[in-house]
């Protein structure tokens, strides 16, 4: 039976992590496509014997080789995102990956995460491992790619997001994204980095934009009534993003937005990857236990009186016999009526 005990990395494991990370399977496509996967930097911080820093990374050593996994979690957020497994999982190593994933989930729970998510290619050996560790498919998604180049569109169709848009954008998100998916991907922090499309004075489209050295990633949120204008809105958004002339553009099309795929393929986007968004819920960490008094189950019930001595019972006064006969005669003669 192989030793499948996974543990957080230490500085002694950094050389192994550096060697394996080149063969990783990315599980956070937004970061990977836009900025590249931040593997070693986060792993280095998490290996230091300090507070919860960096991207928590766990390892199983197997002789000169090993297995590594990592997740990231923004401060104050209840969702942890798995970033990679390395080397790319193979079926023969399934027991190791089960241990790695379970340890990552436990560590995420210790840090306060309620949900752990990963974007996993269906049909991959990693998909089997995630299913066996209790992850469920919350959505399927296609990622569309557009080569670098300028867009020919009317830039006035969209505008930059402002603080005043927060409530309306949140409402659009709540009304268009399925409830199950909202648990796995809560509304992003108010960074005012998105683009707004308005129709008839109402916000009918929002584009969440992540820019990086490798590309630009767009997650669109459209009201169903703007189906006919979605392609124009996307192209107009590209005119607001100068880097799209130099780097590729990637756009998410989740299962509930399947109509977007056909619309965007007509304006130069091509499907380049498909994934399942897999999610597992975990318990939050418990800092300490506090004992609280339990109230009585029947606080209002009657209790018998308590005395310090015997209870004196007084006898009732008895009427004399002649007075009782006189009262009975008066009653029988009807004088009481």
pTM of the model: 0.79
* pLDDT tens by residue, 138-168: 999 999 999 999 988 889 999 999 989 989 9
Yes or no: say if 141 and 168 are a contact pair by the CB < 8 Å rule.
Answer: no
Residue 2 predicted with pLDDT over 80: no
- Let me know if the fold of 1-134 is the same as that of 141-273: yes
Question: pLDDT at position 282, please?
Answer: 86
pLDDT band at residue 299 using 50, 70 and 90 as cut-offs = low
Please state which of the four CATH numbers 3.40.640.10, 3.90.700.10, 3.30.56.10, 3.40.630.30 is assigned to the domain occupying 1-134.
Answer: 3.40.630.30
DSSP string of 194-258?
SEEEEETTEEEEEEEEEE-SS-EEEEEEE-GGGGGGHHHHHHHHHHT-GGGGTS-EEEEEEGGGH
Helices (H) and strands (E) in the chain, counts: 10, 13
Please state which of the four CATH numbers 3.60.21.10, 3.40.630.30, 3.50.50.60, 3.20.10.10 is assigned to the domain occupying 141-273.
Answer: 3.40.630.30
* pLDDT tens by residue, 56-102: 899 999 877 899 999 988 877 889 999 999 999 999 999 999 999 99
Strand intervals (E) in 24-163:
25-26, 57-62, 65-72, 79-86, 115-120, 136-146, 158-160
Q: Flag the least confident range among 90-104, 189-203, 234-248.
A: 189-203
Question: pLDDT at position 14, please?
Answer: 84
**Domain boundaries defined on the chain:** 1-134, 141-273
Distance CA 117, CA 273 (A): 18
Query: Considering the chain, what percentage of its residues have pLDDT values greater than 70?
Result: 76
Question: pLDDT at position 246, please?
Answer: 94
């Amino acid at each position: 039976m192989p030793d499948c005990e996974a543990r957080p990395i230490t500085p002694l494991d950094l050389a192994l992590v550096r060697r394996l990370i080149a063969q990783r399977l990315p599980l956070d496509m937004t970061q990977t496509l836009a900025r590249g996967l931040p593997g070693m930097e986060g792993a280095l911080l998490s290996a230091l014997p300090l507070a919860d820093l960096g991207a928590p990374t766990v390892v199983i050593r197997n002789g000169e080789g090993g297995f590594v996994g990592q997740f990231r979690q923004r401060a104050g957020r209840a969702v942890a995102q798995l970033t990679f497994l390395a080397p790319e999982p193979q079926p023969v190593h399934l027991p190791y990956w089960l241990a790695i994933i379970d340890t990552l989930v436990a560590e995420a729970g210790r840090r306060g995460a309620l949900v752990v998510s990963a974007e996993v290619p269906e049909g991959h050996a990693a998909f089997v491992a995630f299913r066996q560790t209790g992850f469920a498919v919350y959505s399927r998604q296609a990622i569309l790619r557009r080569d670098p180049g300028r867009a020919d569109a009317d830039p006035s169709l969209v505008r930059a997001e402002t603080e005043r848009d927060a409530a309306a954008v949140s409402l659009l998100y709540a009304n268009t994204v399925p409830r199950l998916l909202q648990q796995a991907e809560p509304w992003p922090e108010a960074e005012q980095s998105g683009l707004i499309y308005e129709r008839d004075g109402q916000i009918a489209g929002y584009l969440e934009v992540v820019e990086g050295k490798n590309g630009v990633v767009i997650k669109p949120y459209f009201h169903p009534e703007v189906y006919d204008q979605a392609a124009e809105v996307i192209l107009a958004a590209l005119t607001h993003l100068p880097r799209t002339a130099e780097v590729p553009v990637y756009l998410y099309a989740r299962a509930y937005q399947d109509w977007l795929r056909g619309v965007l393929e007509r304006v130069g986007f091509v499907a380049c990857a498909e994934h399942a968004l897999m999610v597992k819920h975990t318990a939050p960490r418990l800092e300490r236990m506090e004992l609280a008094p339990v109230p009585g189950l029947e606080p209002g019930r009657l209790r018998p009186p308590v005395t310090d001595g015997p209870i004196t019972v007084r006898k009732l006064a008895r009427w004399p016999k002649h007075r009782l006969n006189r009262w009975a005669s008066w009653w029988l003669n009807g004088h009481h009526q």
